[in-house]
Amino acid sequence: MRGLTSSLWPIRYKPHPDELLSSWLVRLARGHGLRVQTFCNLIFGNQLQVWNRDIDRLGPSWIVDVLSERTGTPIKVARGTTLRSYDGWLYPYFRSSGPLQWITTLQMFHRTRQGFGMQYCPLCLYEDEDPFFRKAWRVAFITTCHKHQCMLRDRCRECGAGVAFHRGDMGHFDGQHRDSIADCYACGAGLASESVDAIEAYDPKVLDWLSDLSLSVMNGNSKLQRAGSMDVMRHMSVLLTSRFLNLKLHNYVCNMLSAPEMSLARGRVSIETRTLVERHHLMQLIAWLMMDLQPRLRNAWLAKAVRYNHMLKDFERAPSGYLKIVDDFSNLTCPPLAVPS
Ligand SMILES: [Zn+2]
Ligand SMILES: [Zn+2]
């Protein structure tokens, strides 16, 4: 396609607010009337494989820079479409493989994306004039839509497939043409919908806390990470799901919140890899602890739901506020020596 060799492409969509790089790229391909794979081959050549990696997480400059230049989008805005914009905020440092703190895992097996890491709000997609996928939908602790106060979804309602909108017209043996980016790649059912799922809430205050947290992400408020809250929250998820601890803390917090003791996927499964249902459940338990961490953790410890050494085990970079809380417990076990009269 001749227009693609000129410095500016014929179609120069800019990213929508909070749009993911992959969503922007797929919209551009569709805008040019090309299959996603064809478009990528024309732009990046056959050697650079775009879709066998998590481009939103990696934010490769060979993609971002080209999209920025050819669409006339400021580079800062283009970089803002990648999950790297959460560097040093949702996670302390970037890593290209393995779980990345609070970023959902797509579980890439070649191009198939068998996981359920790409979430969406059916009503956001329904209301979009030009549907697109949001960056905040890849944040593992966001399980509800702040705008519509409904549950997000992590799979197609009709066939149960995970979301892989880039495969809607891959031109690949398992890719089918789909009219919209918001159609399930596997069965073609629309992901956009007016009907939504009500939020299951164990405690309205917990939900408010989580809602404020997701709003702070949407607004780009990085204050939370400076306080180390993201790391502490993540450590709570480890304590709550550890089989090694016999899930005692999980059972204890469920009991305190009168929440059902959901049976969680076994094994060393990070919260970023868990399904939406499990994350939504776990996030409410984590939020309940975080809302009043010192007394709630202390009471859990006194009830023998968590052991002292586990509160610090494998928790590198534990923030000073958290260390102080845990230190105070050790003082409780060692009452001060009686001063001889
Ligand atoms: Zn929504
Ligand atoms: Zn489907």
Sign of the C-alpha dihedral, residues 86, 91, 93, 95?
Answer: negative
Rounded distance from Cα 211 to ligand 1 centre (Å): 13
Are the C-beta atoms of 152 and 115 separated by less than 8 Å? Answer: no
The pLDDT tens digits for 50-77 are: 888 899 999 999 999 999 999 999 999 9
The pLDDT tens digits for 247-291 are: 799 999 999 999 998 888 887 889 999 999 999 999 999 999 999
CA-based nearest residue to 19, from 131, 154, 112: 131
- Is the pLDDT at 335 greater than 60, yes or no? no
Determine phi and psi for 237, rounding to 5 degrees: -65, -35
* 332's tokens: 């409780």
Whole-number pLDDT of residue 179: 85
Percent of the chain with pLDDT over 70: 91
Whole-number pLDDT of residue 170: 60
Task: Tell me, rounded to whole angstroms, the distance of Cα 284 from its chain centroid.
Answer: 15
pTM exceeding the 0.85 threshold for the entire prediction: yes
Rounded distance from Cα 138 to ligand 2 centre (Å): 20
- Is the pLDDT at 96 greater than 70, yes or no? yes
The pLDDT tens digits for 225-240 are: 666 899 999 999 999 9
Are the C-beta atoms of 34 and 42 separated by less than 8 Å? Answer: yes
The pLDDT tens digits for 112-146 are: 556 899 999 999 999 999 999 999 999 999 999 99
Q: Where are the alpha helices (DSSP H) in 134-222?
A: 204-218
Rounded distance from Cα 5 to ligand 1 centre (Å): 37
Structure letter (DSSP) for residue 150: E
Rounded distance from Cα 330 to ligand 2 centre (Å): 53
The pLDDT tens digits for 10-46 are: 999 999 999 999 999 999 999 999 988 899 999 999 8
CA-based nearest residue to 31, from 66, 71, 76: 71
Rounded distance from Cα 72 to ligand 1 centre (Å): 29
Rounded distance from Cα 85 to ligand 1 centre (Å): 22
Encode burial over 25-63: b for 16+ CB neighbours within 10 A, e otherwise.
Answer: bbbbbbbbebbbbbbbbebeeeeeebbebbbbbbbbeeb
